[in-house]
Structure 1
């Protein structure tokens, strides 16, 4: 039994007239009659009662008509779904993002636009550190990801496209002597206690801080580690040390903490879109195009706000 047999039967059942059904299907009446007879023979059931003056459905025909309509509707929907998927308009897209990414207005803009333009695509979002994202993309458990500057080697199969560049900020207690400065050089942090992500957290910022400090002539003294930026900021507020984070985290307001720009021009981190070099999925292509267009709209890197929660400036 083929889909065309179902279409033929539905047309006859709705018209209850072989000539009109044949005209509707753009085929001859004799071939249509033959196809219906063949369908009944295959099913082993009479679907239509016909004589010279009328055609009517049997009980088997009425029941078969309901199922035939459902099957045809499903086949049409399957074709539409396949066509949407080919155009990148349907399916599932698995996207990773770093801990700092949701704090950038850019990320919200991209995700909202994509949902509006591609409502039939299921977005699965995963918060994962940069290096772990790159591994997941190479292993095909993620389709693409928003990552920070890796600062280390990563799988050759990964392609990175820079979307924006953000400054790094110094996070320190409001009563710290350096809080009186409008900006702070990395060299001024020698001897300070650092609160940082663990080395194995997979964040590029860990390596970035070490490189900045070594370039300034010292190795950072890590006295406390935490896996979440909000925890790091809370530990700074508790007097456990100072920290360096991407500027997007300055949106976390916490008593006892202030943020200061770092004077060194190399104290920046970039946000990249990562994907496999051999990626051919229309879903990924459509997302990349939208993300790159949104990045072009942002002509200038975000400027950090100078905010003290205890003393707003």
Structure 2
């Protein structure tokens, strides 16, 4: 049984006239009669009663008409769904993000823009560290990941689209001796106590800060580690030490904390979108375009050592 047989039958049932039905279908009347007969033979039931003057539905034909219409409607819906999926108008997009990402300007902007333009697309947002995001993208558990530089090696099939280059900030207690400066050279931190992410947190920031401190001639004295930036900032407010975080965290306005940019061209971190280079998911492509990184452009490889 083919869908065209169902369309032929429904048209004849609506017209109750083979000639008019054939005209609607743009086929000849004899071939139409033959197709209806073939349909009846296939299912083993007479669907139409015929005479030279009239055509009537049998009881079986009336029942079959209801189901035929449902099947044709589902077929049309399936086709529309497939076409909309191919155009990226419906479906699901799975996006990972680091804890600092929601504080950036680009993240809420592109999320809101995408939701408005594709209201029937489900955005599944998952907070996770950079390393876990890269693993999830490689395993096709995520379509996109907002990540920061990391010390781990990036799989060759993962492309990175640069979104922004953000300054690093010194987070210090209010009234700290360095709060009078507009920007902070790393050498000024030689005697400070640091509160940092643990290396196991999966971010490259701790390694980057250690590297920049060594370039300034000292080894950072890490007195406390914390998994969450909000905890780090709270410990700074409590006087445990200072920390260095991406600029986006200055949006956390906690009493007793001051923020100042770090001096030096290398005192920056990058926000990127990680995605599989060979994945042509139209939803992913649309998101990349909105985020300012059209597919196939601005793709970079992350250096082995975070800058």
Question: Considering the TM-score relative to the shorter chain, is it more than 0.5?
Answer: yes
CA root-mean-square deviation: 1.9
Q: 1:136, 1:49 → 2: CA distance? A: 62
Cα deviation, residue 98, structure 1: 1.5
Q: 2:5, 2:35 → 1: CA distance? A: 7
**What SS does the corresponding residue of 1:271 show, helix, strand or coil?**
strand
**What SS does the corresponding residue of 1:63 show, helix, strand or coil?**
helix
Match of 2:196?
196
Match of 2:236?
236
> Structure 1: where are the runs of 5+ without partners?
295-313
Cα deviation, residue 265, structure 1: 2.6
Cα deviation, residue 26, structure 1: 0.8
Cα deviation, residue 228, structure 1: 1.6
Question: What are the Cα deviations for residues 98-144 of structure 1, in whole angstroms up to 9, with x where unaligned?
Answer: 21111112111212222222333322221121222112212221122
Match of 1:53?
53
Contact 1:195-1:242 at 8 Å conserved across structures: yes
Contact 1:131-1:154 at 8 Å conserved across structures: no
Is structure 2 residue 11 aligned with structure 1 residue 8?
no
Contact 2:162-2:293 at 8 Å conserved across structures: no
Cα deviation, residue 25, structure 1: 0.8
Contact 1:131-1:204 at 8 Å conserved across structures: no
**What SS does the corresponding residue of 1:292 show, helix, strand or coil?**
coil
**What SS does the corresponding residue of 2:291 show, helix, strand or coil?**
helix
Cα deviation, residue 89, structure 1: 2.7
Alpha-carbon distance change, 38 to 21 in structure 1, aligned in 2, over 3 angstroms: same
Q: 1:165, 1:177 → 2: CA distance? A: 28
Match of 2:77?
77
Cα deviation, residue 170, structure 1: 0.9
Cα deviation, residue 293, structure 1: 5.8
Q: 1:219, 1:74 → 2: CA distance? A: 67
In the comparison of the two structures, how many residue pairs are matched? 294
Match of 2:211?
211
Match of 2:170?
170
**What SS does the corresponding residue of 2:19 show, helix, strand or coil?**
helix
Contact 2:95-2:144 at 8 Å conserved across structures: yes
Cα deviation, residue 6, structure 1: 0.9
**What SS does the corresponding residue of 1:70 show, helix, strand or coil?**
helix
Q: TM-score scaled to structure 2, two decimals?
A: 0.89
Question: What are the Cα deviations for residues 184-242 of structure 1, in whole angstroms up to 9, with x where unaligned?
Answer: 22111123222222211111212211111111112222222222211211121122221
